[in-house]
Amino acid sequence: MVGTIPGRWLASACARLRAGAGFVAAGALDLLYPLRCLVCGATDHPARVPGLCPACARALPWRADPGGAHAALGAGRGRIAAVVIALRFAPPVDDLVYQLKYGGERAAAIPLAFALAEAVERARSAALPVGPPELLAPVPMHWLKRWGRGLDHARELADELGRALRVPVAHRALTRVRATVAQGQARRAAQRLAQVESAFAVPRPTAVRGRHVALVDDVVTSGATAAACAEALARAGARAITLLAAAGNG
């Protein structure tokens, strides 16, 4: 992992450049700033997945059907019309998520967003019957938790995904109006749904009214948070709601 703040910024910028660079440009970038894999620290030639070495890229646990039914969502799916989940929450994805969510490593959002963009393209015809999203809305974090961690992981992921899909990101489409405890502390799906009920609001309904909005999050567990966000968006008049997540536990 790149350890300094300037190092993190430079790693993030270079990973983004590698993702969109041609062969010659990527080679020149390697001479100026050699890859250091975000997971294992290897300095191999970069893989197709930006920010990862070839070995870690090969180890990514892709879901065979990214647009298929996600068992953990169950009845909590609610207003969500379509779901795309790129990866299983297993090594090395869990390491990337931990770096992004708890380690302040913005660069970790880049390979996760790359995988999610790939999954969206693979699932577009089957899993997005309502058409491509017109707006990306990151699942919001409570301001106190964001202050403690130093960044909003879903926002970082949505920004990278928006660049990849060329879809605008509405950072304030949703707000969290009350803090909730970590969803892992509630064992039953019903408890998780009750915990986040009415925890989200849409401050400017005109921003989502009549539009296909895609919720963006790093990991889906029970789907309760996504369902609560979707309910708020639907009440504000969103035409369709899709859930896009980098990883899922199912």
pLDDT for the residue numbered 192: 56
For residue 193, what are the contacts with CB-CB under 8 A and spacing of at least 6?
76, 222, 224, 227, 228
159: pLDDT strictly greater than 80: yes
Task: Break the chain into its structural domains and give their ranges.
Answer: 1-59, 61-248
6: pLDDT strictly greater than 50: no
DSSP 197: T
Handedness of CA 124, 127, 133, 138 (dihedral sign): negative
What the block records as the tokens of 142 is 């409570």
Residue pointed to by tokens 């869990």: 94
Q: What percentage of the chain has pLDDT greater than the value 70?
A: 67
Give 50's pLDDT tier (boundaries 50, 70, 90): confident
pLDDT for the residue numbered 144: 66
Q: Is domain 61-248 classified as CATH 3.40.50.300?
A: no
Task: Kindly provide the residue ranges of all beta strands, DSSP E only, lying in the chain, ordered along the sequence.
Answer: 82-88, 135-138, 175-176, 200-201, 212-220, 240-248
Please list the residues that pair with 243 across neighbouring strands: 83, 215
pLDDT for the residue numbered 169: 97
| Pairwise CA distance, residues 63 & 247, whole Å | 9
What the block records as the tokens of 141 is 């974090």
Question: Is the model more confident about 41 or about 125?
Answer: 41
Give the tens place of pLDDT for each residue, 180-217: 555 444 455 555 555 666 689 999 999 999 999 999 99
Question: Is the model more confident about 164 or about 47?
Answer: 164
| Pairwise CA distance, residues 13 & 10, whole Å | 5
Question: What average pLDDT does this structure show over 96-118?
Answer: 91
What the block records as the tokens of 80 is 């969500």
| Pairwise CA distance, residues 66 & 75, whole Å | 19
137: pLDDT strictly greater than 50: yes
Give the tens place of pLDDT for each residue, 64-86: 887 665 544 554 467 898 889 99
Residue pointed to by tokens 């708890």: 102
- Angle (CA) 225-100-47 rounded to 5° is 120
Residues 13 and 111: beta-carbon distance below 8 Å: no
Residues 212 and 237: beta-carbon distance below 8 Å: no
Closest CA to 137 of 49, 200, 85: 200
Question: Is the model more confident about 11 or about 90?
Answer: 90
Give 31's pLDDT tier (boundaries 50, 70, 90): very low
25-34, 100-109, 155-164, 205-214: the lowest-pLDDT one: 25-34
